[in-house]
Structure 1
Amino acid sequence: MAACPFRRSIAAQLSRVLNLPPENLIKSISALPVSKKRPVADFQLFVGSVIENKSSDHSKPDLQLQTQRLAEKLKCDTVVREISTGPGTVNFTINRELLAKTVLQQVFKDGSEYGIKSELFSTLPRGKIVIEFSSPNIAKKFHVGHLRSTIIGLLGAGFQQFGNEDKLKSNPLEHLFEVYVQVNKAAAEDENIKKLAQDFFRKLEARDEQILSMWQHFRDFSIEEYVRIYKRLGVHFDEYSGESFYQEKSQEVLKMLDARGLLQKTIKGTRVVDLSEKRDLSLCSTVMRSDGTSLYITRDLAAAIDRMMKYNCDTMIYVTDKSQNAHFEQLFQILKLMGYQWAERCQHVSFGLVQGMKTRKGEVVFLEDVLNEARSRMLQNMAAAKTTKELENPLETAEKIGLAALIIQDFKGLLSSNYQFSWDRVLQSRGDTGVFLQYTHARLHSLEQMCRDRQSTDINTACLQDPQAISILQHLLSYDEVLYKSSEDLQPKHIVSYLLTLSHLAAVAHKTLPVKGSAPEQAQARLRLFQAARSVLANGMKLLGITPVSQM
């Protein structure tokens, strides 16, 4: 486990003064955010977090007074150049040459694991996590919103009326979507079609061979298409097992619920689980229709139990849109009632809705159309830009930049927030966008290529004392904290914000700290700094599912 020697050194000194183990202090020492207006210290200790832990005495003196007293007991040394205080904080400024030397060494030594190897992660238990995400429905094209309703019954009934086997083979999801639209329209006018759909679904649960074969047909075609689109996103799944896979096992779940006395019959003939505190059915979850068929939640219960038995995982995470918050609360509650203690380790990560998204093809927005549109708009922008280089594969580059633009837009805010989509804003080459991240990465990569003859690992760190260089080094110091924060609350926005700041700092330094035309020693040091910034930028982008481009 690579440790930041600065944090460790500060913790060791604080440990002696506070009489606390150094490992208890590590997480209370954090890197300060870079300030454009004035030089700032490198680390700060939140005194309240360690003093409160140390004493619960109600007659404690004022926090600021304690902060002052603590600072007076600490001494500068070969690592810490200056100690100062802020509101409830003790601030530490690191020896400037040591800062440059250590940060750069660590970035290149750890490579793609820089930040991840930090001591901040040493206390986290290593475990197995099962994540269920995406969950598109069989035979329904990827939508940018979340697809959740079970449409197999309608689709089965519809295909028998409107389906065409040749069209299914040539363009499966396009054709199945057409069938779905047609049968939906017909069902609105004819009650019999709804009955046919229910009948289809009931036969499917009863494992009727002909119906099962048709469903398998839809599923195989759908997964084939999904794999192709997932590949464009750089996503690979270990397993494809949607909730419809658990239709048979859901009947076992109903028997288990019944055996535990949790299943109650309503006047309508449905079966429910009572989740109300007073057990008065004021809050209940329907787990079986009156015709004996299962529901979404029944199949989710079967899936959760099966996956936990199969993988014996430490955590199970479900990623779906926030309209399903109540569904997952009920799911986890029923699992607990069934006696599964591991339900405490299940978690729902919810996301908001994308509003106002349109493509040139129309209002119904499918993911593949969005990816195509992002790519074609990026191609146009690249063709119009004066700085665009001659590229070997412009289509592939446009695809990577377009995808980066969509990912950064999606991850900028809280996952659960809805946001208004705008193509112009998403694809801007300046500002806080994925295009800007890619542009910065390509620019730094091109600088490395141009100055290959000057590259050296042995540099003079005295050449990296300019405020712009110090700002980049300070920012690189806090990368592990950003990763740790994202791992705790499962919000990618911390990483996005970090990478955008790094790109802006690198852009400013690129203008003010030239490599070309500088003295050899200075040029080598600056080039090494830019290499480190590009390396961390690439690492962070890859964590978000973005493939960095080296030219654009």
Structure 2
Amino acid sequence: MACFFRRSAALQLAKACGQNEETLIPLISVAPVNRRQCVADLRVSVSHLLQSGAVRPDGDLQNTTHTLARQIRPDAVVEEVIAGRGVIHFRLNKLLLAQKLLDQLRSDPDGFGVQSEILRRLRVGRTLVEFSSPNIAKKFHAGHLRSTIIGNFIANLKKALGNEVIRVNYLGDWGMQFGLLGSGFERFGSQEKLRRQPLEHLFEVYVQVNREAESDASVCSAAAQFFRRLEQSEEQALELWRHFREITIQEYKRIYQRLGVEFDHYSGESFHRAQTQTVLDELKSRGLLKTSQKGTGVVDLSETGDMSNYATLVRSDGTSLYITRDVAAALDRKQRFGFDEMIYVTDKSQSVHFQQLFHILQAMGQQWADRCHHVAFGLVQGMSTRRGEVLFLEDVLEEAQSRMIHNMRQSRTSKELEDPDLTAERIGISALIVQDFKGPLISDYRFEWDKVLQAQGDTGVFLQYTHARLCSLLRQQDCESSCSDFSPLLDSRSVSLLQHLLRYDEVLLQCATDLQPRHLVNFLMTLSHLVASAHRELPVKGSSAAVAQARLCLFSSVRSVLANGMRILGITPVEKM
């Protein structure tokens, strides 16, 4: 609904400067709410108008601002135009603001914001998101958790904005690590332990064989031999590998289900091992693959052709590398899925790898390579459970759930719940997600359980508490949340909520532009703080029918936007806690 008001302001501005309103709409933004003072609803930067050629300078910037503001005529929608410092502010008709905004939220709560005019200008198509991508038999560290929840957010956001989304989990299920694991399991693996605790036992075997390899060269030789057997498709080696892969995927699916994360495709390096030769043949035919002095196959990525920067695609023994299989995977996905963009979500240590990958694809003549993106994230320090260092994602989920159950039992306000364990897990997961999304993804941060699970402050627990409190309010009232008289919503608390809701589409546009969830987290936190103040000062119970109905309509609309935003982040809203 922001588009209605943005268009109204653009129309009045267009009349003043003789421009097409369509070109001015993207330049008009919603002013952030200031809880200390009343602010105008919309604004436009005169510098941006000058840069776009929409207006001509009239002396200095401030003089141009005042001249233009005087030329804009208020109307039934825009009640007042104010010249600020290089900015023109628009005050809207607040009664009309409440009516338009809340009517739309009542009639189409799921479409609010995501169907905005400024978002329809975004390119929409088929988006492939590769995320999570754990390595079979290696510990599922905090980085895999970050990749999982960040990738899920990006996929949710793209889908909400109208894209067709393909979610891919690209498992680390090939390479020399499997030489170690396979040879190690043949020596001291246990089928019984593998049935009972598959991920834990594979990790035990992997740790043990790595320890022995440090002091026994024959272990390394056996590992290299086992990997060659895999590369040569020897059936016995492949059978063991297939068994490891299948039980691991089933275990991951169970854990992802707890997180509320789904994948359309479980892929992996192994899927593309047979295609690597085709990639190498094409690179040779294009004169891109060269043999180094060490006997490895490399692609020169330097601008001057002096091999100052290169990528290795083949070992001296002829076996493929991770990047070789990534090139094959990218080419295969383009052919199979016909994506318009592909997004990889991994930690920042792999930034150079993806620069090389995209460079190689471009060198191969793949023009779509510039629509491949790497979303990098930083490291998490200090994530551990009561049992010690985090080994598997399930350890983190168990810890979040158990700590949250403890906190809920200590709280006087906790309600009787049908399934307290499920509620605790959902709140705990919310806390993990919000903690991770509060800052720039590229930043490292220190993880502290006590801060993450606080009920007060900008935490996932606070978001869930706000949602549950609104649900409780709506359950307790007999009157419907529909409204015909919006005049009781002209107080400062109600207006602040309405003004903030008006920003929702701009926040989603920010997230879509840089794929950073912090914009949405900050929006939802501010919304929760605003509604907490409104809940204290704008009672429903004891008010007249008209006032109660209007306030209930406002609180219902806030709950709807809060829930929609939480779901995009990957959070399942709880109705009681």
User: Quick check: TM above 0.5?
Assistant: yes
1:74 equivalent among 72, 75, 85: 72
**Matched AA of 1:69:** T
- The aligned residue for residue 418 of structure 2 is 392
Helix, strand or coil: the match of 2:44?
strand
Mapping of residues 85-484 of structure 1, within 5 Å:
85-146=83-144, 150=175, 151-451=177-477, 453-484=478-509
Q: CA separation in 2, counterparts of 1:537 and 1:248?
A: 47
Could you tell me how far 1:398 is from its partner in structure 2? 0.2
**Matched AA of 1:184:** N
**Matched AA of 1:32:** A
Q: CA separation in 2, counterparts of 1:226 and 1:394?
A: 24
User: Could you report, residue by residue, the CA deviation over 1:136-179 in whole angstroms, capped at 9, with x for unpaired residues?
Assistant: 11233532224979522211111111211121122211110111
Bigger Cα displacement from structure 2, 20-29 vs 411-420: 20-29
Helix, strand or coil: the match of 1:113?
coil
Helix, strand or coil: the match of 1:547?
coil
Bigger Cα displacement from structure 2, 13-22 vs 412-421: 13-22
CA contact (8 A) 1:273 1:286 kept: yes
Q: CA separation in 2, counterparts of 1:226 and 1:365?
A: 14
**Matched AA of 1:501:** T
CA contact (8 A) 2:17 2:54 kept: no
- The aligned residue for residue 166 of structure 2 is none
Q: CA separation in 2, counterparts of 1:427 and 1:175?
A: 31
Output the aligned Cα RMSD: 1.5
Q: CA separation in 1, counterparts of 2:231 and 2:60?
A: 68
Q: CA separation in 2, counterparts of 1:133 and 1:458?
A: 44
Q: CA separation in 1, counterparts of 2:383 and 2:275?
A: 38
User: Could you report, residue by residue, the CA deviation over 1:183-232 in whole angstroms, capped at 9, with x for unpaired residues?
Assistant: 11111111111121122112211111111111111111111111111111
CA contact (8 A) 2:40 2:91 kept: yes
Do structure 1's residue 508 and structure 2's residue 533 form an aligned pair? yes
**Matched AA of 2:456:** R
Could you tell me how far 1:389 is from its partner in structure 2? 0.6
Bigger Cα displacement from structure 2, 99-108 vs 420-429: 99-108
- The aligned residue for residue 48 of structure 1 is 47
CA contact (8 A) 1:482 1:494 kept: yes
Q: CA separation in 1, counterparts of 2:105 and 2:50?
A: 33
CA contact (8 A) 1:140 1:222 kept: no
For the structure 1 residues 89 and 154, does the alpha-carbon distance in structure 2 shift closer, same or farther, using more than 3 Å as the test? same
TM-score (norm 1): 0.97
Mapping of residues 515-526 of structure 1, within 5 Å:
515-526=540-551
For the structure 1 residues 535 and 385, does the alpha-carbon distance in structure 2 shift closer, same or farther, using more than 3 Å as the test? same
TM-score (norm 2): 0.93
Q: CA separation in 2, counterparts of 1:4 and 1:262?
A: 51
Q: CA separation in 2, counterparts of 1:309 and 1:264?
A: 27
Q: CA separation in 2, counterparts of 1:459 and 1:55?
A: 40
User: Could you report, residue by residue, the CA deviation over 1:477-517 in whole angstroms, capped at 9, with x for unpaired residues?
Assistant: 00000001101110010000000000000111111111111
Could you tell me how far 1:19 is from its partner in structure 2? 2.2
Helix, strand or coil: the match of 2:404?
helix
CA contact (8 A) 1:82 1:94 kept: yes
- The aligned residue for residue 9 of structure 2 is 10
Q: CA separation in 2, counterparts of 1:263 and 1:76?
A: 67
Bigger Cα displacement from structure 2, 439-448 vs 357-366: 357-366
Taking only the aligned residue pairs, the percentage that are identical comes to 56
Q: CA separation in 1, counterparts of 2:388 and 2:179?
A: 27
- The aligned residue for residue 29 of structure 1 is 28
Q: CA separation in 2, counterparts of 1:262 and 1:292?
A: 17
Could you tell me how far 1:343 is from its partner in structure 2? 0.7
Helix, strand or coil: the match of 2:325?
helix
**Matched AA of 2:68:** L
Q: CA separation in 2, counterparts of 1:516 and 1:11?
A: 41
Helix, strand or coil: the match of 2:142?
coil
Q: CA separation in 1, counterparts of 2:241 and 2:80?
A: 70
1:63 equivalent among 61, 64, 67: 61
User: Could you report, residue by residue, the CA deviation over 1:309-359 in whole angstroms, capped at 9, with x for unpaired residues?
Assistant: 111111011000000000000000011111111111110000111101110
Q: CA separation in 1, counterparts of 2:312 and 2:483?
A: 68
Q: CA separation in 2, counterparts of 1:524 and 1:230?
A: 41
Q: CA separation in 2, counterparts of 1:130 and 1:428?
A: 35
Could you tell me how far 1:75 is from its partner in structure 2? 1.2
**Matched AA of 1:21:** N
Q: CA separation in 1, counterparts of 2:273 and 2:433?
A: 34
CA contact (8 A) 2:193 2:201 kept: yes
**Matched AA of 1:347:** H
Could you tell me how far 1:365 is from its partner in structure 2? 3.6
2:562 equivalent among 530, 537, 544: 537
Q: CA separation in 1, counterparts of 2:32 and 2:77?
A: 20
- The aligned residue for residue 517 of structure 2 is 492
User: Could you report, residue by residue, the CA deviation over 1:424-450 in whole angstroms, capped at 9, with x for unpaired residues?
Assistant: 000000000000000000000000000
**Matched AA of 1:92:** F
Helix, strand or coil: the match of 1:75?
coil
Bigger Cα displacement from structure 2, 483-492 vs 240-249: 240-249
**Matched AA of 2:550:** A
